[in-house]
């Protein structure tokens, strides 16, 4: 095989290269056999690639040298067909490039992919393009010269994901390739904010590039960088490959890239990467041979543009004369959409893990190279003067694609019968092609350098680089001073000399941009960054900075065009890369209200439009709004929406339905979708469909995990619909929820998995929506049964049960107070008292009437709990009060304020209302007593008090009256609670030693109930009959008296 290759090539440079490499191997190694075999194999790879009848044009992604040689090659001998590495189905996206501002990326997008793992959906793939890349030059040439066909021959987007490992997301290793330490300083916090704004333009898309030439074997890369004294691989490539080949002739350029690719493939690549490359190469060569046979085109009239790694492939399918055929695997049934999305230098660097500023340096090298060599590059020219007018025309994307840019008699090219798409854009006249020479024939340039000379001397352009370097040094000092650094002319000189010093240390004839950057950081950077940017970021801006691409209006999908048209009423520049501020006054300009609706929908869908002033809620009618709009800077998100529908409303409705009808959807998801449909679409039909879906999901729920959010959303919807009329679906949802949560209550009270907050939300749903539920036929009987069956063990849930019983009139307020008084009276229960209060506070959500009792309990807790219990509880109390919201908190504060005196002078004798009501009289002394328990003095002169007249008491009644007189505290407390100012009658007022009950006194005598006047006996005469009636009632109902006697300890 080697002998046959030697017969096919007659280039003396390759023979000299072989002799030189073998001699080097013998001189620097003890055993030259292994190294010699490697070097001879590398030369064989170069010879094999150069001898291929189908001319192989090796490239590296965004390489200026590749772009310059591509431009020269196409002008010297235009081919009939250009086979390009790239997904074969991406040709459909090329038709929109003429309306774009580069850099942009070709995109393949699949919203739904049932045959791939669900975590991958949606499938997204991008192929970035820059003006100074070989692929751009080839595409621009084919657009200018329709007689030259452009055919993408690499595996399709579908195959990219088919061949990806299933155990991780596709593209997870795109940025993992070690580039020798890409400078991370420029992307540190704050300094790289400008670049970070455009780094994620590609989102989570899988990135493809034509001509990936980075080594993936870490040990090889480490040795390479250490011996070359460079920081990362891009710097090594720029010094040893890019610069020397920039002014070389065409044959030398090809041989150098073949040689470097052979080295990387044999030594610098992992076995996994080699297997993937070989699979792609089989695909490409199968497609190229198939196309040539079908179109009956000679291989010498074609060019294969591919990464240099693929040009030295060892597979048996290599070459047009290969006899081994490889069967192309079929695609899946995934439906793919194609388009163009904006890109940026920072996004490309971030996508492929390149050092910051590399793309900008490549652009500078491109501009300097084609000016020095005198080569005019091919350009994709926009047919119109304005890229994206503020008031665009009504021409749709489909019409723009079908309308030719210029007149031409040649029809637009189609596709092959096997689905390999071609492109031949109309417009422009092609120069007459020169006679086809040998496939590997040189294309001589003005500064042609042979391979032997290239390896023996440094590159040219030194004079121009000196002037450029001086300008950099002056400018970086100026920018540093502008950003707060104390720099001067002396720093300019220091940076210049340091750049030359670094270049000499690295065996360079002239400082590179990387040397200048490190020199500037060394001379100017301080311990602290004084301004917004550090020196590394300033150098990146100086060397070219970031550049943001833009897709023209004509190339946008219909949805994006519709957005541009509808937002034109705002009068802002939607194509600007800066944030645009839009002020909307609906009173003065009602025609802006539809634009406001559209902005809210775009914000909901993730497009970067931010409301500065204004809100959109249920039932709100805006008067003024203010928006920050950055659509021009974030076209990518708008274009992504264009793959999902024709209008924003269609996409929004589709997403709401997906949220509600997903397989794992919950009730809260469907209810949220229904609420959003009312807010953003104002669609009763869609709200009813989503609401009925929420009803179905609610019936299937087995717990109350989502009860808090469901309650909040239902309450908002009910309040909104009360103003416009309750629809049937909301009534059905409330009725279903009332019955469903009533059924779940007994289990929720005892289930430890249900939190008190969730239980409180279930009760809140039941009690707040009870009136509406009753109106549609629900009954309270099921709720009463559930509450009676509840037997909670946790303290917060037990407090919630007491509150629910109080609402249902199963427990009185005094009984509630008695429960908490019992807790405070038991030392063993004091540690859990805060938990009871926390649970009781949750009841404020569904019964605000309990606010007064909550204030009382919290006050008693602060006054009576010991510090070892109270202090740890305070943080928990704050956490318990926070979810209640400002409304409940304001009610608590207002109720607590009512308990305090209104003027300061009343503070000395002030007591809490519940303390005044619960205050009891002191224990009476033996003998006659007055109201309040004070002893009744004897009449003056020792005369006995006159006995009042009244009905005689039975012995049982007399004993009860005697017991009540002996223990007056309960009746005094009841009288105080009822607001009755009563006085105790004299002992003789009731026959048989009976006791008189409390009587109501005159209003002018309030506050003096404990004082007894000289005629106290006569004052009690009128109350005898009332006492008799009270005693008779107590006899008829002895249960209360027995309970009272038991409570005060009387047998």
From CA 948, how far away is CA 936, in angstroms rounded? 16
Helix (H, G, I), strand (E, B), or coil: what is residue 306? strand
Q: Which of 395-409, 658-672, 952-966 has the lowest mean pLDDT?
A: 395-409
Measured CA to CA in angstroms, residue 330 lies from 286, 748, 928, 1011 at distances of: 14, 55, 111, 108
Mean pLDDT of 255-278: 87
Measured CA to CA in angstroms, residue 749 lies from 763, 764, 796, 848 at distances of: 11, 14, 10, 21
What's the pLDDT band for 599 if we cut at 50, 70, 90? very high
H-helix segments, 506-647:
513-524, 535-542, 558-566, 593-604, 635-642
From CA 537, how far away is CA 544, in angstroms rounded? 11
Report the sign of the C-alpha dihedral through residues 812, 816, 819, 824, in that order.
negative
| Token reading at 173 | 């290793």
Per-residue pLDDT tens for 801-821? 999 999 999 998 889 888 888
What's the pLDDT band for 430 if we cut at 50, 70, 90? very low
Q: Which position has the higher pLDDT, 29 or 791?
A: 791
pLDDT in the model for residue 409? 35
Which residues on neighbouring strands pair with residue 628, listed in sequence order? 581, 610
Q: Which of 289-298, 310-319, 428-437, 773-782 has the lowest mean pLDDT?
A: 428-437
State percent of the chain over pLDDT 70.
74
Specify whether the CB–CB gap between 994 and 1031 falls below 8 A.
yes
Per-residue pLDDT tens for 155-184? 999 999 998 888 777 765 544 444 444 444
Smallest CA-to-CA distance from 358 within 191, 511, 531, 540 is with 540
pLDDT in the model for residue 221? 86
From CA 972, how far away is CA 993, in angstroms rounded? 20
Smallest CA-to-CA distance from 574 within 394, 391, 385, 341 is with 391
Helix (H, G, I), strand (E, B), or coil: what is residue 365? helix
Flag whether pLDDT at 923 surpasses 60.
Answer: no
Flag whether pLDDT at 460 surpasses 80.
Answer: no
pLDDT in the model for residue 654? 94
What's the pLDDT band for 495 if we cut at 50, 70, 90? very high
Per-residue pLDDT tens for 759-780? 999 999 999 999 999 998 899 9
* Gap between the terminal Cα atoms of the chain: 122
Flag whether pLDDT at 336 surpasses 70.
Answer: yes
pTM (predicted TM-score): 0.71
Flag whether pLDDT at 744 surpasses 80.
Answer: yes
From CA 1048, how far away is CA 433, in angstroms rounded? 120
């Amino acid at each position: 095989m080697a002998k046959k290759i030697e017969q096919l090539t007659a280039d003396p440079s390759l023979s000299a290269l072989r002799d030189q490499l073998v001699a080097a191997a013998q001189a620097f190694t003890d055993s030259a056999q292994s190294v010699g075999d490697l070097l001879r194999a590398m030369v064989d790879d170069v010879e094999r690639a150069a001898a291929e009848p189908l001319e192989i044009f090796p490239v590296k992604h965004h390489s200026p040298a590749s772009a310059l040689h591509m431009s020269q090659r196409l002008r010297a001998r235009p081919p009939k067909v250009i086979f390009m590495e790239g997904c074969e189905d991406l040709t459909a996206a090329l038709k929109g490039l003429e309306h774009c501002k580069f850099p942009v990326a070709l995109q393949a997008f699949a919203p739904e992919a049932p045959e791939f793992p669900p975590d991958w959906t949606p499938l997204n793939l991008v192929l970035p393009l820059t003006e100074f890349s070989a692929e751009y030059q080839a595409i621009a040439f084919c657009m200018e010269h329709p007689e030259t066909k452009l055919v993408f021959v690499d595996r399709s987007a579908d195959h990219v994901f088919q061949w990806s490992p299933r155990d991780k997301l596709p593209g997870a290793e795109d940025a993992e390739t070690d580039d020798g330490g890409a400078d991370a300083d420029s992307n540190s916090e704050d300094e790289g904010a400008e670049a970070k704004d455009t780094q994620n333009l590609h989102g989570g898309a899988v990135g493809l590039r034509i001509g990936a030439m980075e080594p993936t074997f870490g040990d090889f890369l480490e040795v390479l960088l250490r011996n070359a004294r460079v920081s990362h691989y891009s710097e090594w490539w720029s010094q040893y490959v890019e610069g020397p080949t920039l002014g070389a002739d065409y044959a030398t350029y090809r041989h150098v890239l073949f040689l470097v690719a052979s080295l990387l493939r044999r030594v610098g690549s992992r076995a996994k990467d080699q297997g993937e490359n070989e699979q792609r190469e089989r695909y490409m060569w199968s497609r190229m041979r198939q196309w040539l046979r079908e179109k009956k085109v000679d291989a010498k009239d074609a060019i294969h543009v591919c990464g240099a790694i693929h040009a030295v492939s060892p597979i048996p399918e290599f070459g047009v004369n290969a006899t081994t055929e490889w069967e192309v695997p079929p695609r899946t049934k995934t439906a793919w959409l194609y388009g163009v999305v904006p890109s940026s230098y920072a996004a490309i660097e971030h996508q492929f893990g390149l050092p910051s500023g590399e793309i900008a340096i490549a652009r500078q090298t491109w501009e300097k190279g084609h000016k020095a060599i005198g080569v005019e590059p091919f350009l994709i020219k926009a047919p119109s003067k304005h890229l994206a007018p503020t008031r665009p025309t009504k021409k749709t994307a489909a019409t723009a694609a079908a309308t030719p840019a210029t007149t031409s008699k040649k029809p637009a090219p189609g596709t092959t019968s096997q689905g390999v798409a071609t492109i031949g854009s109309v417009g422009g006249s092609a120069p007459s092609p020169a006679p086809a020479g040998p496939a590997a024939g040189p294309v001589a340039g003005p500064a042609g350098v042979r391979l032997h000379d290239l390896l023996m001397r440094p590159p040219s352009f030194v004079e121009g680089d000196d002037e450029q370097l001086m300008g950099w040094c002056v400018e970086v000092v100026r920018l540093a001073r502008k950003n707060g650094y104390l720099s001067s002319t002396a720093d300019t000189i220091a940076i210049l000399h340091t750049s030359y010093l670094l270049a000499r240390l690295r065996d360079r004839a002239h400082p590179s941009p990387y040397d200048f950057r490190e020199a500037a950081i060394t001379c100017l950077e301080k311990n602290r960054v004084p301004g917004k940017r550090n020196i590394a970021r300033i150098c990146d801006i100086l060397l070219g900075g970031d550049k943001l691409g833009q897709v023209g209006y004509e190339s946008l999908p219909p949805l994006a065009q519709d957005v541009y048209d509808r937002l034109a009423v705002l009068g802002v520049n939607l194509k600007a890369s800066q944030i645009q501020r839009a002020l909307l006054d609906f009173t003065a300009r009602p025609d802006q209200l539809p634009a406001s609706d559209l902005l809210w929908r775009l914000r909901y869908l993730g497009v970067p439009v931010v409301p500065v002033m204004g809100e959109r809620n249920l039932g709100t009618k805006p008067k003024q709004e203010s928006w920050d709009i950055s659509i021009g800077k974030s076209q990518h998100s708008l274009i992504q929406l264009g793959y999902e529908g024709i209008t924003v409303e269609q996409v929004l409705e589709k997403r709401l339905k997906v949220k509600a009808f997903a397989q794992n959807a919950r009730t809260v998801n469907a209810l949220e979708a229904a609420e959003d449909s009312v807010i953003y679409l104002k669609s009763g039909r869609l709200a009813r469909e989503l609401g009925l879906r929420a009803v179905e999901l609610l019936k299937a729920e087995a717990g109350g995990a989502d009860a808090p959010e469901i309650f909040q959303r239902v309450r908002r919807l009910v309040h909104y619909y009360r103003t416009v009329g309750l629809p049937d679906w909301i009534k059905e949802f409330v009725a279903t929820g009332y019955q469903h949560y009533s059924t779940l209550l007994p289990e929720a009270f005892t289930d430890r998995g249900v939190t008190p907050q969730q239980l409180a939300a279930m009760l809140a749903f039941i009690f707040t929506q009870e009136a509406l539920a009753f109106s549609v036929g629900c009954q309270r009987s099921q709720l009463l049964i559930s509450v009676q069956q509840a037997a909670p063990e946790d303290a917060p849930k037990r407090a919630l049960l007491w509150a629910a019983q109080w609402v249902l009139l199963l427990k009185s307020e005094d009984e509630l107070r008695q429960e908490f008084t019992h807790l405070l009276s038991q030392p063993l229960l004091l540690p859990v008292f805060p938990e009871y209060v926390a649970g009781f506070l949750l009841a404020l959500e569904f019964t605000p009437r309990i606010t007064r009792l909550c204030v009382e309990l919290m006050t008693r807790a602060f006054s009576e709990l010991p510090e070892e219990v109270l202090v740890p509880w305070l943080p928990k109390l704050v956490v318990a009060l926070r979810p209640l919201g400002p409304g409940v908190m304001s009610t608590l504060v207002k109720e607590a304020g009512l308990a305090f005196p209104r003027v300061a002078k009343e503070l000395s004798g002030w007591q809490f209302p519940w303390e005044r009501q619960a205050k009891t009289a002191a224990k009476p002394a033996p003998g006659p007593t007055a109201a309040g328990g004070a002893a009744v003095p004897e009449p003056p002169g020792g005369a006995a008090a006159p006995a009042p007249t009244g009905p005689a008491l039975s012995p049982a009644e007399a004993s009860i009256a005697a017991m009540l007189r002996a223990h007056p505290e309960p009746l005094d407390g009841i009288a105080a609670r009822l607001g009755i100012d009563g006085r105790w009658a004299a002992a003789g007022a009731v026959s048989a030693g009976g006791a008189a009950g409390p009587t109501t006194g005159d209003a002018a005598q309030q506050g003096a109930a404990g004082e007894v006047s000289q005629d106290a006996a006569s004052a009690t005469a009128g109350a005898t009959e009332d006492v008799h009636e009270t005693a008779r009632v107590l006899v008829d109902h002895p249960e209360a008296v027995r309970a009272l006697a038991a409570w005060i300890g009387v047998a």
